[in-house]
Amino acid sequence: MKSQLLYNALVINEGTSFTGSVLIGSGLIQAVFKGPVPESVLNNSDVLDVSNKWLMPGVIDDHVHFREPGLTHKADMATESLAALAGGVTSFMDMPNTVPQTTTIQAWEEKMNLAASKSLANYAFYLGATNENLSEIRKADFNRICGVKVFLGSSTGNMLVDNEKTLGNIFRSVPALVAVHAESEDIIQANKQAYLKQAGGVLSVRFHPLIRSSEACYASAARAVDLASQYQTNLHLLHVSTARELALFENKPLSDKQITAEVCVSHLWFDDTAYDWQGNAIKCNPAIKTTEDRTALRNAVASGLIDIIATDHAPHLWSEKQGDYLKAASGCPSIQFSLLLMLDLAAQGLFTKETVVGRMCHAPAIRFRIDRRGFIRQGYHADLVIINPDISWTLSENQILSKCAWSPFVNQCFHHAIYQTYLNGRLVVDNGVYTGVRASENLQFLSSNT
């Protein structure tokens, strides 16, 4: 079988862009060519001319909720991994707040078995922390498990860890990356009671960023940073949503960082003025906050203060997002459009397309020590995305692949499109259409993420 040559693209990789070609075969990148390709390679390969298109590594999303097992009326591994591939996301790391919760090695193994039969994209799963499961965490093989998820604020699934002794033991003894949802439950509950009283018991979604406030985020994030500093924990702060939290991070090379930060697409795209027209559709935890917060987050992506862009892809049925603000579910789907949204922000000059690739592809691979993914390098797995940069199109509901079948980005005009997605060297999405090829693998992690 001949190797495939992706010929004459603009290759975006490792902080630069150049006209080049990538040879793939046996699931791997066999060669990367800058400029001319040897005649022997051209004559002995299946050549796909992708002139005037962009070629980049597949996106690695370190923060998704695919809802399986137990919540498959909202989403499942097959539907959401297909949406991921259609959006150029070739690998995902799924959170533990499913039913049952992924808080034991047995539950984690069962989830891996589900993914082996159902996931269309490469996969990995966090082990969730509780107030009682430290013994399970200590049994974990962190060459196969991407990290430990700790909820310092309650969210969907109510996995709040609030026992001080347990927290100390987790931060002290876990030989892996600890990923934290940081919101102070005490502050949130106090805010909720105060605003309920002020508003006479009826709250609109406009109160969401006031209840799940900047103070609640900063207090909890600072606490996590203090614990990590005390115990030298490998800490990853998820979905940073405020300017104030940025003071907790250092701007230095990612490989030198003990504490890293993730921002989600929704917090980079929307600000609190969008509640007026999106309503509960953009209700997520932590809340989308002010224009000033959004600007600070965008600048932190550009500067490198924020390390990773993810989605926190969290599908709910549209019916579950309706009604009273306090009852409406928190979370929204975004994985199918995350890369395109970030490329559109780059086109606006907020950061570069090379930065987008750095934060969505390279940085997750480095931070989680993923084996041979996230870069266009010889010998790496051929997870690749080809972008058409010269097209404008408007999203309609019938193009949504997530099972929940809605998106806050309906009617959004995009200025890039996913042309093709390759997974482990095989074409899985072609012009927006799934090819029927299953090529997914479980992610492998070098050493113990320490």
308-339, pLDDT tens digit by residue?
Answer: 999 999 999 999 999 999 999 999 999 999 99
pLDDT at 427 over 80: yes
**Same-domain status, 110 and 18:** no
Q: How far apart are CA 305 and CA 297, in angstroms?
A: 9
pLDDT digits (tens, 9 = 90+) for 191-204: 999 999 999 888 99
Query: Is position 395 within any domain?
Result: no
User: What CATH number does the domain containing 220 carry?
Assistant: 3.20.20.140
Q: How far apart are CA 315 and CA 280, in angstroms?
A: 13
pLDDT at 340 over 70: yes
Sign of CA dihedral 323, 326, 329, 332: positive
Q: What is the pLDDT of residue 450?
A: 39
Confidence of residue 154 (pLDDT cuts 50, 70, 90): low
User: What CATH number does the domain containing 22 carry?
Assistant: 2.30.40.10
Sign of CA dihedral 12, 391, 63, 434: negative
Query: Is position 400 within any domain?
Result: no
**Same-domain status, 226 and 267:** yes
Q: What is the pLDDT of residue 223?
A: 95
**Same-domain status, 126 and 266:** yes
Tell me if 327 sits within 8 A of 280, measured CB to CB: no
Number of domains in the chain: 2
Average pLDDT over residues 391-410: 98
pLDDT at 51 over 70: yes
Q: What is the pLDDT of residue 156?
A: 53
Query: Is position 225 within any domain?
Result: yes
If you ran DSSP here, which 8-state letter would residue 274 be given? G
Query: Is position 41 within any domain?
Result: yes
**Same-domain status, 277 and 347:** yes
Average pLDDT over residues 423-437: 97
Average pLDDT over residues 344-351: 98
**Same-domain status, 424 and 308:** no
Query: Is position 169 within any domain?
Result: yes
Higher pLDDT, 166 or 14: 14
CA Rg value for the chain? 21
Average pLDDT over residues 171-175: 91
**Same-domain status, 361 and 324:** yes
Q: What is the pLDDT of residue 449?
A: 41
Query: Is position 439 within any domain?
Result: no
Tell me if 15 sits within 8 A of 364, measured CB to CB: no
pLDDT at 164 over 90: no
Confidence of residue 376 (pLDDT cuts 50, 70, 90): very high
Confidence of residue 216 (pLDDT cuts 50, 70, 90): very high
**Same-domain status, 183 and 314:** yes
Query: Is position 87 within any domain?
Result: yes
Q: What is the pLDDT of residue 159?
A: 79
pLDDT digits (tens, 9 = 90+) for 252-307: 999 999 999 999 999 999 999 999 999 999 999 999 999 999 999 999 999 999 99
Tell me if 253 sits within 8 A of 185, measured CB to CB: no
Q: Residue 382 belongs to what domain range?
A: 3-56+376-389+411-434
Backbone torsions φ then ψ of 84, nearest 5 degrees: -60, -50
Q: What is the pLDDT of residue 275?
A: 98
Query: Is position 450 within any domain?
Result: no
